[in-house]
């Protein structure tokens, strides 16, 4: 039986980053700047923990919290964590971690817990969460995403694209579209205004503009945020926002016009992102949430890049 402890000693951003970079499939929500953006947006604090399994460093966890009256009323959220170093993250390790976490943040009157573990949806992980005393919210489907590994060379990655997806990309590349990268945030105002209008018109869920503004504020100086714009005759017809975190990156949000859709702009934007991220040493690309209920078309589009679908174990209280 393994033994887990969590060391909550204060960590600097640099110390967190050094450890974070070694983790494959690191998540944006566990990135240090995300906690900074969340603090500015939602007035939440953050705790940063080093996970030890049998006294050996095994992973990291970032928790957001807010409390009043000396935490008499206390809200704690663990989103898409913990993250594990190589060799760790088995169901046994997950069970040990959440047993330890439950001891340190026990359920009580006045405390609200929300946990979205970065653990695959399987029987051992569900049992681990149940054993630790967490109740799964069955009415909320487990979060799903697609991870695209960027270890292979560009030619192999292109060959791995769905045939129809690759054909649309090739046709788009032959069009008059031009694709540019913005690492400075110069086009962020137009991007965010159009994103908010698109989200309002179509009624889909997505991060608030307020949060995105804060993420850009904290990540642009670190060269960890990039907007890819596709233009047709000097008009931006599609754009996507990508965040880099450690050795991973996340396709956060995007939008397209009718003209952009006809020209296959999003295909070209995502492919340009893949190429540029690979050049920057990114190893894993999180293509963002997918589902079959209201966004089947988005899911099919993302599947075209040839990544691996992953369903997480669920939401717990």
Consecutive sets of 10 residues in the chain, 317 residues long: mean pLDDT of each? Answer: 95 94 98 97 96 98 93 94 98 96 95 96 95 91 94 97 98 97 98 96 92 98 98 97 98 96 98 98 95 77 96 96
Q: What are the φ and ψ backbone dihedral angles of 98, each rounded to 5 degrees?
A: -70, -25
Query: With contact defined as beta carbons under 8 Å apart, do 288 and 250 qualify?
Result: yes
Cα–Cα dist 203/310, whole Å? 25
Which DSSP helix (H) or strand (E) runs through 42?
Answer: helix 32-42
Q: What is the pLDDT of residue 250?
A: 98
Query: Which sign, positive or negative, has the C-alpha torsion 200, 202, 207, 213?
Result: negative
pLDDT of residue 294: 60
Query: Which of 214, 235, 7 minimizes the C-alpha distance to 100?
Result: 7
Tokens of 266: 């999003």
The pTM assigned to this predicted structure is: 0.97
- In CATH, 4-135 is 3.30.9.10: no
Name the H helices within 136-294.
154-159, 163-173, 188-202, 209-219, 258-262, 265-279
Nearest CA-CA partner of 229 in 196, 190, 197, 198: 190
- Determine the Cα–Cα distance for residues 28 and 19; give it in Å rounded to an integer: 15
DSSP code, position 221: G
CATH architecture of 146-311: 3-Layer(aba) Sandwich (3.40)
Given this model, what pLDDT does residue 204 score?
Answer: 87
* Strand residues in the chain grouped as ranges (E): 4-7, 45-53, 56-68, 73-81, 83-84, 111-117, 144-149, 178-182, 225-232, 235-245, 248-256, 284-289, 308-311
| Residue ranges, CATH 3.40.630.30, the chain | 4-135, 146-311
Name which of 154, 96, 100, 169 is nearest 128 in CA terms: 96
């Amino acid at each position: 039986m393994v033994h887990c402890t969590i060391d909550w000693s204060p960590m600097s951003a640099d110390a967190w980053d050094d450890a974070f970079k070694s983790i494959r499939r690191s998540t944006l929500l566990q990135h240090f700047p995300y906690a900074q953006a969340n603090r500015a947006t939602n007035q939440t604090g953050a705790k940063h923990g080093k996970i030890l399994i049998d006294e050996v460093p095994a992973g990291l966890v970032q928790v957001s919290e807010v409390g009043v009256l000396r935490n008499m009323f206390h809200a704690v959220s663990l989103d898409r964590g913990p993250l594990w170093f190589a060799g760790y993250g088995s169901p046994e390790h997950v069970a040990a971690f959440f047993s330890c976490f439950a001891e340190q943040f026990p359920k009580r009157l006045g405390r609200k817990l929300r946990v979205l573990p970065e653990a695959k949806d399987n029987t051992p992980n569900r049992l681990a969460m149940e054993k630790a005393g967490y109740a799964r919210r069955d009415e909320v489907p487990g979060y799903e995403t697609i991870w695209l590994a960027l270890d292979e060379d560009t030619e192999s990655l292109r060959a791995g694209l769905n045939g129809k997806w690759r054909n649309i990309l090739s046709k788009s590349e032959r069009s008059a579209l031009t694709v540019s990268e913005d690492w400075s945030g110069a086009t962020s105002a137009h991007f965010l205004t159009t994103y908010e209008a698109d989200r309002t018109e179509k009624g889909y869920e997505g991060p608030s503009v307020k949060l995105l503004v804060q993420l850009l504020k904290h990540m642009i100086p670190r060269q960890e945020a990039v907007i890819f714009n596709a233009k047709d005759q000097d008009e931006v017809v599609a754009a996507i926002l990508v965040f880099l975190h450690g050795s991973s990156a996340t396709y956060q949000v995007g939008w397209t016009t009718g003209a952009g859709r006809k020209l296959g702009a999003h295909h070209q934007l995502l492919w340009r992102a893949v190429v540029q991220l690979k050049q920057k040493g990114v190893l894993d690309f999180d293509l963002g949430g997918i589902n079959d209920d209201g966004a089947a078309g988005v899911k099919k589009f993302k599947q075209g890049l040839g990544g691996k679908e992953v369903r997480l174990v669920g939401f717990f209280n």
